[in-house]
Amino acid sequence: MNLAQARSCQIAALDFITSTVAEQMATILQPHVGMFKVGAMLFTAVGPAVIEYLRDTVGLPVFLDLKYHDTPETVAGASCAAAGLGVEMFTIHCAGGMPMMTAARKAVDEAMELPAIRANSRSRPKILGVTALTSQEALDLERESTIAVNEDASSRAIQELFDEIVMRRALLAEEAGLDGVVTSARYAAHVRKACRPSFLIVTPGIHRVETAGEAIRGGADYVVIGRLFRQTRDPIGIAGQLTWEIAAAAERKEA
């Protein structure tokens, strides 16, 4: 992997509530990353106009991360709308189940046959299934369970069940025709082994430069970086460190 390819693996999360700040960060990072993520915060505050701005003015593709999770009919409609926005990728939540995921894929395929949508979308957007939120953990499963967990062995069983749920969701996403999943670095290697080579893995929650390398070595195709860029005075420097770390990790993986 060369440095240009390593840059393209980086998705900068524009998690801001004003378009001005988001546009400033996008302009700074444009030569140094491969894609921008628009999540619920920015999309709710600004609306679809930010996607057009990032795509056409800044000049990079957009990853729309709204994690659609509703009835199959509703998610199908939302997926069709996402296709019309001309995004590169968008997310639905695997917890919505197989009917919802297959409805999303079918809706996007049908939407791409419509001239109005084809005119605004260079290609079919990739649909990614979110296996679990990065803030979610096995303890949440324990809290939701009716079974009291008091012993270490039982806690391990809960963690194993959580791990199984994440992996099962990834496999169901593949079966439903989704293009990939969003999953933490903890599961990237397992998903890569279990799913087809072309199945995309996007790893969010990259809070350290080293974590990006770990995710790539594990099989991730993209890493999502938000906090590292927001909390530094030198986002270009951080992007450069990430580029070298990702390139080195890919080289070690191929060795």
Q: Give me the phi and psi of 14, to 5 degrees please.
A: -95, 70
**pLDDT at position 139, please?**
56
222-225/126-130 β-pairing = unpaired
CATH code, domain with 225? 3.20.20.70
Alpha helices in the chain (DSSP H): 3-8, 19-29, 40-46, 49-52, 72-84, 98-111, 115-120, 138-144, 152-175, 185-194, 209-218, 227-230, 235-254
**pLDDT at position 161, please?**
81
Cβ(243)–Cβ(32) under 8 Å? yes
**pLDDT at position 133, please?**
79
**Which residues define the annotated binding site?**
15, 37, 134, 226-227
Maximum alpha-carbon separation in the chain: 59
Which residue range is the domain that position 95 belongs to? 3-134+171-254
C-alpha 173/C-alpha 192 separation (Å) is 13
Is residue 158 a part of any domain in this protein?
A: no
Is residue 159 a part of any domain in this protein?
A: no
Is residue 38 a part of any domain in this protein?
A: yes
Is residue 140 a part of any domain in this protein?
A: no
**pLDDT at position 135, please?**
65
**pLDDT at position 122, please?**
77
CA nearest 131: which of 73, 79, 92? 92
Is residue 22 a part of any domain in this protein?
A: yes
Tally Cβ neighbours within 10 Å of residue 135.
Answer: 7
C-alpha 30/C-alpha 109 separation (Å) is 30
Positions marked active-site: 65, 67, 70
pTM of the model: 0.92
3-state secondary structure of 10: strand
**pLDDT at position 107, please?**
98
Which residues of the chain register pLDDT less than 70? 134-154, 255
| Tally of structural domains, the chain | 1
Summarize pLDDT for 209-224 with one digit per residue, the tens. 988 999 999 999 999 9
Is residue 29 a part of any domain in this protein?
A: yes
**pLDDT at position 198, please?**
97
Is residue 152 a part of any domain in this protein?
A: no
**pLDDT at position 215, please?**
94
**Which residues define the annotated binding site for substrate?**
15, 37, 134, 226-227
Is residue 164 a part of any domain in this protein?
A: no
C-alpha 253/C-alpha 242 separation (Å) is 16
